[in-house]
């Protein structure tokens, strides 16, 4: 409306004054409803062109958006495994501090596995105490077998020496018996050595491996028991939390609830603009917003960051070729806002819906000489046109409660 009034003042009004005072035509007599287009065609055409041009320039260099939101994050209350709820420590909408327990899953099976692993460790420790006795017994049997083997060898050697001197004294059967005794004693010694080596390997390799396996089983069971209790990761409020003992939770299919942190976003807002405004939206650009949760208040903001990727162009491999015409809605340019002055957004609830307008300002380029001459003059005029959107923003903030409460 302001742009149309201004355009009419510099186009339609001079045309009418020329017709009225230069040509003597009067409104309602020579200039009627039926010939107003013919009489004021130059003024009407110039007014339409100027109004459209002004609107284009204003909305291009001072873009507006109806999608500004006080974004905040939530933390999903999840357990690391699926299971049945054993105990619930908090109620819905309860405030929790970081580290407070929220609920605990049933762990009887894991506790039984942990107890079995502890008993196994006790058995291994007892076996390690007995293995020394087994090694001592094997060493004694080995020494006895070596002594018996030496005895048989000495007897065989003496009888063979006697047989060499006088073959009639020693029979061949006696020599065969002594040789068999030597072989049997050698076998007994080898068996005693194998038994001793097996006992040592059991002490040095088997029992430590069994102990390590039992400790691993115990650690696994204790870890499952420890992670069966879900704790709050941040300070906040637990919401949509309706768990009862006996319910089944699953980290993939059935989360337990949502934790809304106390401090999330720190007053940052997210706004989206049309892609046509991408070239004028810059970090450090000033904005103004007004929110439904805080009507009749205009809050100055500044663009703190800008997301370069536009939603709508992303894709991931699938079993079908991507057809761009299936994406009917184009993406928007996303920017992140921060309040220009601290404390102005403290009483705005997270998730509030707001509207905003951004203002292009090239005063710094003009001051530094980057824009000079006629270009600087035009830039100042274009920057000054932002006052139209500023007035509209204030009118919206005033009419917002009326529109929401009366005309909705």
Q: What is the CATH number of the domain that holds 235?
A: 2.40.50.100
- Provide the CA 118 distance to its chain's centre, in angstroms: 38
In a domain, 323, yes or no: no
Does residue 143 sit in the same domain as residue 221? yes
End-to-end Cα distance, the chain: 23
Closest by Cα among 82, 129, 132, 133 to 105: 82
| Domain termination site, one of 261, 282, 304 | 261
Give the integer Cα–Cα distance in Å for 138 and 119.
28
Does residue 236 sit in the same domain as residue 215? no
Does residue 269 sit in the same domain as residue 399? yes
- Say what the pLDDT of residue 163 is: 63
pLDDT digits (tens, 9 = 90+) for 352-394: 889 999 999 888 888 888 888 888 888 888 888 888 888 888 8
Q: What is the mean pLDDT of residues 315-335?
A: 79
At 298, which helix (H) or strand (E)? strand 294-307
In a domain, 400, yes or no: yes
- Say what the pLDDT of residue 356 is: 92
Does residue 139 sit in the same domain as residue 192? yes
CB 239 within 8 A of CB 76: no
Does residue 112 sit in the same domain as residue 217? yes
23 forms bridges with which residues in the sheet?
A: none
Give the integer Cα–Cα distance in Å for 68 and 52.
26
Does residue 17 sit in the same domain as residue 161? no
pLDDT digits (tens, 9 = 90+) for 329-344: 788 899 999 888 888 8
Banded model confidence at residue 170, pLDDT cuts 50, 70, 90: low
* Total residues belonging to the chain: 408
Does residue 56 sit in the same domain as residue 118? no
Give the integer Cα–Cα distance in Å for 243 and 279.
50
Q: Reduced to 3 DSSP states, what percent helix, strand and coil does the chain have, rounded to the nearest 5? A: 50, 20, 30
Task: Report residue 91: phi and psi, to 5°.
Answer: -105, 170
In a domain, 126, yes or no: yes
Does residue 128 sit in the same domain as residue 182? yes
- Say what the pLDDT of residue 175 is: 64
- Say what the pLDDT of residue 335 is: 92
CB 200 within 8 A of CB 132: no
Give the integer Cα–Cα distance in Å for 363 and 286.
13
Other CB atoms within 10 Å distance of the CB of residue 200: 15
Query: Considering its fold, how many domains does the chain have in total?
Result: 4
In a domain, 322, yes or no: no
More confident residue, 156 or 3: 3
Does residue 202 sit in the same domain as residue 340? no
- Provide the CA 356 distance to its chain's centre, in angstroms: 29
At 36, which helix (H) or strand (E)? helix 36-39
Instruction: Give the contacts of 93 (CB within 8 A, at least 6 positions apart).
Output: 237, 238, 239, 241
CB 69 within 8 A of CB 353: yes
pLDDT digits (tens, 9 = 90+) for 66-90: 989 888 888 888 888 888 888 999 9
Instruction: Give the contacts of 89 (CB within 8 A, at least 6 positions apart).
Output: 100, 101, 102, 103, 104
- Residue identified by tokens 């917002």 is 400
CB 330 within 8 A of CB 307: no
Domain CATH code at residue 333: 2.40.30.170
Residue 152: pLDDT above 70?
Answer: no
pLDDT digits (tens, 9 = 90+) for 223-260: 888 888 889 888 888 988 888 888 888 887 778 888 88
- Say what the pLDDT of residue 3 is: 72
- Residue identified by tokens 């010939």 is 35
Q: Containing domain of residue 240, as a range?
A: 75-103+229-261
Instruction: Give the contacts of 188 (CB within 8 A, at least 6 positions apart).
Output: 145, 148, 149
Closest by Cα among 92, 51, 35 to 241: 92
- Provide the CA 28 distance to its chain's centre, in angstroms: 70
- Say what the pLDDT of residue 166 is: 64
Give the integer Cα–Cα distance in Å for 338 and 318.
38
């Amino acid at each position: 409306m302001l742009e149309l009034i201004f355009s009419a003042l510099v186009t339609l009004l001079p045309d009418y004054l020329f017709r009225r005072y230069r040509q003597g035509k009067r409104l309602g007599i020579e200039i009627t409803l039926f010939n107003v287009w013919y009489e004021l065609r130059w003024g009407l055409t110039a007014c339409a062109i100027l109004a459209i041009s002004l609107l284009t320039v204003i909305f291009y260099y001072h873009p507006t958006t109806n999608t500004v939101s006080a974004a905040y994050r939530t933390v999903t209350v999840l357990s690391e495994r699926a299971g049945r709820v054993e105990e619930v420590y908090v109620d819905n909408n309860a405030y929790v501090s970081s580290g407070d327990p929220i609920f605990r899953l049933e762990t009887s099976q894991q506790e039984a596995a942990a107890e079995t692993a502890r008993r196994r460790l006790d058995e291994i420790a007892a076996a390690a105490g007995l293995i020394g006795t087994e090694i001592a017994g094997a060493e004694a049997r080995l020494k006895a077998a070596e002594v018996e083997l030496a005895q048989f060898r000495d007897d065989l050697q003496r009888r063979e020496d006697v047989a060499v001197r006088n073959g009639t004294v020693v029979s061949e059967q006696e020599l065969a018996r002594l040789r068999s005794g030597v072989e049997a004693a050698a076998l007994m010694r080898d068996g005693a050595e194998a038994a001793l080596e097996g006992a040592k390997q059991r002490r040095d390799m088997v029992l430590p491996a069994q102990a390590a396996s039992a400790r691993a089983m115990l650690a696994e069971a204790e870890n499952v028991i420890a992670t069966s209790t879900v704790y709050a990761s941040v300070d906040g409020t637990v919401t949509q939390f309706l768990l009862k003992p006996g319910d089944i939770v699953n980290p993939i299919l059935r989360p337990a609830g949502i934790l809304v942190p106390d401090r999330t976003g720190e007053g940052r807002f997210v706004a989206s603009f049309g892609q046509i405004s991408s070239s004028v939206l810059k970090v450090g650009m000033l904005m103004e917003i007004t929110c439904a949760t805080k009507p009749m208040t205009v809050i100055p903001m500044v663009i703190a960051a800008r997301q370069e990727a536009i939603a709508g162009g992303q894709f991931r491999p699938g079993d079908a070729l991507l057809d761009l015409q299936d994406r009917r809605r184009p993406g928007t340019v996303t920017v992140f806002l921060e309040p220009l002055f601290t404390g102005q957004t403290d009483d705005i609830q997270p998730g509030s819906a707001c509207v905003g307008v951004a203002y292009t300002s090239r005063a710094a380029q003009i001051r530094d000489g980057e824009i000079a001459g006629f270009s600087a003059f035009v830039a100042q005029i274009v920057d000054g046109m932002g006052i139209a959107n500023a007035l509209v923003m204030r009118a919206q903030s005033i009419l917002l409660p009326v529109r929401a409460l009366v005309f909705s």
